[in-house]
Structure 1
Amino acid sequence: MNPTVRQTVVELCRAAGMTTVFGNPGSTELRMFRDWPDDFRYVLALQESSAVAVAAGHALGTGRAALVSLHSAGGVGHALGAVLNAYRDRVPLVLVAGQQSRALLPLRPFLGADEPAQFPRPYVKFSRQPERAADVPGAFAEAHRIAMTHPRGPVFLSVPEDDWDEPARPVAPRTVHGGYGADPEALDRLAAALDGARRPALVVGPAVDDERAVREVAELAERTRAAVWISPLSGRSGFDELHPYFQGFLPPVADQLAQRLAPYDLVVALGAPLFTYHVHVEGPALAAGTELYHLDCDPAQAAWLPVGTSVVTTIRPAVRALTGLVGTSERPPPPARTAPPPARPGVLSAELVMDLLRERLPRDTVLVEEAPSHRDALHARLPVRAEGGFLTTGSGALGWGLPLAVGRALAGGSRVVCVLGDGSALYSVQALWTAARHRAPVSFLLLDNGGYGAVRALGRRIGITPVPGTDIGGIDFAALAASFGCPGREVERAEQLTAALDRSLGLGPDAGPELLRIRVPADDSPLYAPWAR
């Protein structure tokens, strides 16, 4: 007798290392959990977008795809903002949504999903509701392989609830070796261009960190004496920010970005969607005299870039090959980046928080950020050094950071530090319950400036002041955290900050979560002011 669809999928999950399931259960998923195996763990989130983000943090920490259970059309709808983040940040997730019984579908039943495969597109790599129950395990296996193939990302399956008890033939697990090399002739041309450049630069994108190619990129930079920048609004770091060749973070504004790159006659973008803009200004993508090469494993990225020569390849093997092709340069090294002045003593500010964190965080700390008002201060003052040491949203859909930190902490390693804004935290504050329930080792540092400071700053930039709907007040974040089971503390004065940070950061990897609400003044600086070099 053939096993059921459920039994076959459970075996596929075991083979793929997906024995932790993230979700928020509903009626159309119940049959999936019949005879739930003892070696599987269910991580409950209190809203589907948080479930996706917690799963994403776990996937980034383990390097394996994570399995997420969503509830029919409504649950998928709740989750889509987080799915967008996972897609932009290339996080491998297998999303399985419940669906009503097949016999009911022609009647448009309650909790049924119309055209379910269309709903999450275009922000998934694969989307399907199999035609027959017997096809579910094969589609599941295919979806997992696609999720783990570069560029990695989320995939989606809709499974009618009665399919799980139907018979299905076992599906043998198999391996698809991801990664592919660049055209050798294209690398030869790029190597010659690097050797002949007067002043080259590398732009590091999130794919460098995703492929664990940080060391290889550093070797290429040192061999060619190239300046190194990080791409605009990158969801990862990808380079040691205390390396003498590191120059900073490119701004998401066309004229500012072109100005930063104007001194270079050759720019090589590595796994970076280089022209990621937030606001529109007129002007060319690059200054005259700047030549661009773009290396990325995503052919869609290569197709839409407005200028330059693209080479479709995974980053790590291409950089290794390129380092072997270029000569050792004798050109002068790039200038050192200028450190910002210390924060004003005695004033409780985001800058003071970053300065104190810089002194206290171990090199291997994983830092998760979702504080748009203070991201410039973080980048200028708090260097990330470890591979995989910085995570944020690369798409801007809020509510990602808090649950992402929870999932990353559950994946293991040292204590995670999550820097949040008050506005961002409120999109997914219920993830504190999941953190407390699973004793996730996270220190949440909530910078409370009383509203959506980044939106106010953008309003000032385009001449809209005041901006309605940007003030938040009257929320006791410490009490709110405590109500979810996460200890919460208040920091109201600068003299309290050092001791509070030392206590929270010193809890260690075996302690549970804690939230520090730090009251900082509203930021009245212009959005995307020139960053320190």
Structure 2
Amino acid sequence: MADQPEGEKTVLEASLEVFRAHGLTTIFGNPGSNELPFLAGLGDDFRFILGLHEQVVVGMAEGYSRATGGPALVNLHAASGSGNGMGALTNAHYGHVPLVVLAGQQVRRTVGQEAMLANVDAATLPAPLVKYSHEPLAATDVPRTLSQAAFEAVTQPSGPVYVSVPLDDWDETALPDDELLTQRSVTTAGTMSESLRRELAEVLNGAQNPALVLGPQVDAAAVDDPTVYEHAVALAERLGASVFVAPSPTRCPFPTTHPNFEGVLVPGIKSVRDRLIGHDVVLVMGAATFRYHRWEPANYLEPGTEVIQITQDAREATRAPFGRAVVADIATALADLAEATADRGNRRGDRGARAVPAPPRSEQGMTGPEVLDVLNEHVDDSVVYVNETTTLDLEYLERIVIDRPGMYHFPASGGLGFGLPVAVGMAIGDPEKTVVATVGDGSANYGLTALYTAAQLGTKTIFVIVNNSGYGALSGFAERMGVPDTPGLILGTIDFVSLAQGYGVPASRTTTREEFDAAYREALQADGPVLIDAVVLGA
């Protein structure tokens, strides 16, 4: 690095000051040659977390952001590394996870020549999976661009952003005014007006049988304001409303033990409509209306059902095919409505009376629901769950007690490889927690190298491979779609125990509920990562 005149800073030095101002001093990455000048100039207060594949790197950063509630910094390599990470970027995008993705670029003057490792038209590569994407037109604009990116990532609706920086930019002289970047702030005041609050409260008060549908923005808001859960409970109780979790939940926005909790809406048009029949007013808070998955041709709503959506994402509001939408801060809106609505004085009994029955036992082996029941027998305040078992996603929030914010996490867009790296990232972000990741044997192969990072850092993670020797969710879809003989859905035997041990993670294999219970009890007492290959009956 060339010497700078006294009192002047390099672009790298000014950029690191920007990252410090935003708390972006933990970097998740897999380095390439374009990134070396940036990484070599990091100060001692920066921490670099190595991942062996870019999809795992992005997944770990997502887990870290979910655990800390703040943005995470990702360093990827040019086009090839960025492309490798885009599978995980789908989950971060639809999960509104604030990631600042910094990608290396070839020497500036050679990019147009399409030199080796040049990322041609870099800003378009990650679209449409990022909120903001840019390659500065001059080296002197790099610090300002990174400042904008950091603010874009966390400004609602939060989400990933992407910046490509040529490797020779870092050594250029920064602008003196870059010092002003560290003093900036952006505040969003998304409160509802008093008249709007009264109007919505009147609609809810006049409803004969209201329902609440809560989404991931509620749980995400609770990271900074734990009273969000309390306000959601208060609103449900005052209205006497049934509470549903929005389809395809990435987080759990309401205590699953509460008497008003009625479960997760199945992500199909007819399924949602049928569950909402009889509710004249449906208030959707912090979710899209609705993120469907399976195709079920039907009318969206039964006549007489009025839907009101409150979301922090303007695009969720504009793309909905029905209902009235309000764009506002979720935490404030919940508190305002909980205060403004009339208390009907009706309280429901104990949800235990409607508890999900124990799954039937089989002499042939263990079932997936039995795995969930064992996990539920050992719930405590130190445990956080990461789920990537799509065969069990609808049962997860029924069988496992989720009663506090930030306790449950699921991929937002079905990008495989979520579970293992997100669990590692969450453990790095909150070392006091034990992160339990249930992952299907099919999806485990997409993020398996996360075990390396877990072993190197000694993260408190328990990886449970729910192993049915195939793509169980796809088999279920094939049956429903009338194509049961689809090839490629059976995996056969994969030795996850040996694979885990090869990365340095202790592992064992279980085939019965009793064996799994004993292995899980032992894993909860471990100081570092543990993998359990839980063999279950096929879907």
Identify the TM-score tier after normalising by the shorter chain: over 0.9
2: distance between equivalents of 1:271 and 1:376? 19
Post-superposition shift, 1:34?
2.4
2: distance between equivalents of 1:401 and 1:444? 9
2:480 maps to 461
2:268 maps to 253
Q: State whether residues 364 and 389 of structure 1, in contact with CA within 8 Å, keep that contact through their aligned partners in structure 2.
A: no
SS in 1 for 2:119: coil
2: distance between equivalents of 1:210 and 1:179? 17
1: distance between equivalents of 2:509 and 2:179? 53
Post-superposition shift, 1:434?
0.8
1:397 maps to 415
1:177 aligns with 2:192: no
1:305 maps to 320
1:436 maps to 455
SS in 1 for 2:366: coil
1: distance between equivalents of 2:189 and 2:436? 32
Moved more, 315-324 or 64-73: 315-324
SS in 2 for 1:192: helix
Post-superposition shift, 1:300?
0.8
User: Which of 328, 346, 355 is the equivalent residue of 1:339?
Assistant: 355
Give CA deviations for 1:73-100 in whole Å, capped at 9, x if unaligned: 1111111111111010011110000111
1:196-345, aligned counterparts within 5 Å?
196-212=206-222, 213-330=228-345, 333=348, 336=351, 338-345=354-361
2: distance between equivalents of 1:335 and 1:41? 47
The amino acid that maps onto 2:187 is H
Moved more, 187-196 or 32-41: 32-41
Post-superposition shift, 1:150?
1.2
1:112 maps to 118
Give CA deviations for 1:13-52 in whole Å, capped at 9, x if unaligned: 1221111100100011111122331121110001111101
User: Which of 390, 394, 414 is the equivalent residue of 1:372?
Assistant: 390
Q: State whether residues 225 and 334 of structure 1, in contact with CA within 8 Å, keep that contact through their aligned partners in structure 2.
A: no
Q: State whether residues 32 and 77 of structure 2, in contact with CA within 8 Å, keep that contact through their aligned partners in structure 1.
A: yes
SS in 1 for 2:122: coil
The runs of 5 or more residues in structure 1 that have no matched partner are 524-533
Moved more, 282-291 or 201-210: 282-291
2:27 maps to 21
1:78 aligns with 2:84: yes
2:533 maps to 517
Post-superposition shift, 1:344?
3.0
CA 1:217–1:494 in 2, change beyond 3 Å: closer, same or farther?
closer
1:40-189, aligned counterparts within 5 Å?
40-169=46-175, 170-172=178-180, 173=182, 174-189=184-199
SS in 2 for 1:21: strand
SS in 1 for 2:173: coil
Post-superposition shift, 1:380?
2.4
Q: State whether residues 275 and 285 of structure 1, in contact with CA within 8 Å, keep that contact through their aligned partners in structure 2.
A: no
SS in 1 for 2:459: coil
1: distance between equivalents of 2:242 and 2:509? 41
Post-superposition shift, 1:495?
2.8
1: distance between equivalents of 2:528 and 2:188? 36
SS in 1 for 2:168: helix
1:193 maps to 203
Moved more, 350-359 or 72-81: 350-359
1:424 maps to 443
2:375 maps to 357
Q: Report % sequence identity.
A: 37
The amino acid that maps onto 2:514 is E
Alpha-carbon RMSD across the aligned residues, in angstroms, is: 1.5
2: distance between equivalents of 1:64 and 1:396? 23
SS in 1 for 2:402: coil
1:384 aligns with 2:402: yes
SS in 2 for 1:117: helix
* Count of residues paired in the alignment: 520
Q: State whether residues 379 and 401 of structure 2, in contact with CA within 8 Å, keep that contact through their aligned partners in structure 1.
A: no
TM-score (norm 2): 0.94
1:414 maps to 433
2:225 maps to none
Post-superposition shift, 1:334?
8.7
1:477 maps to 496
The runs of 5 or more residues in structure 2 that have no matched partner are 223-227
2:39 maps to 33
2:516 maps to 497
1: distance between equivalents of 2:497 and 2:72? 31
1:522-533, aligned counterparts within 5 Å?
522-523=538-539
1: distance between equivalents of 2:307 and 2:195? 17
CA 1:464–1:89 in 2, change beyond 3 Å: closer, same or farther?
same
Post-superposition shift, 1:340?
2.1
SS in 2 for 1:497: helix
CA 1:135–1:66 in 2, change beyond 3 Å: closer, same or farther?
same
2: distance between equivalents of 1:393 and 1:405? 12
Give CA deviations for 1:392-413 in whole Å, capped at 9, x if unaligned: 1011111111100100001123
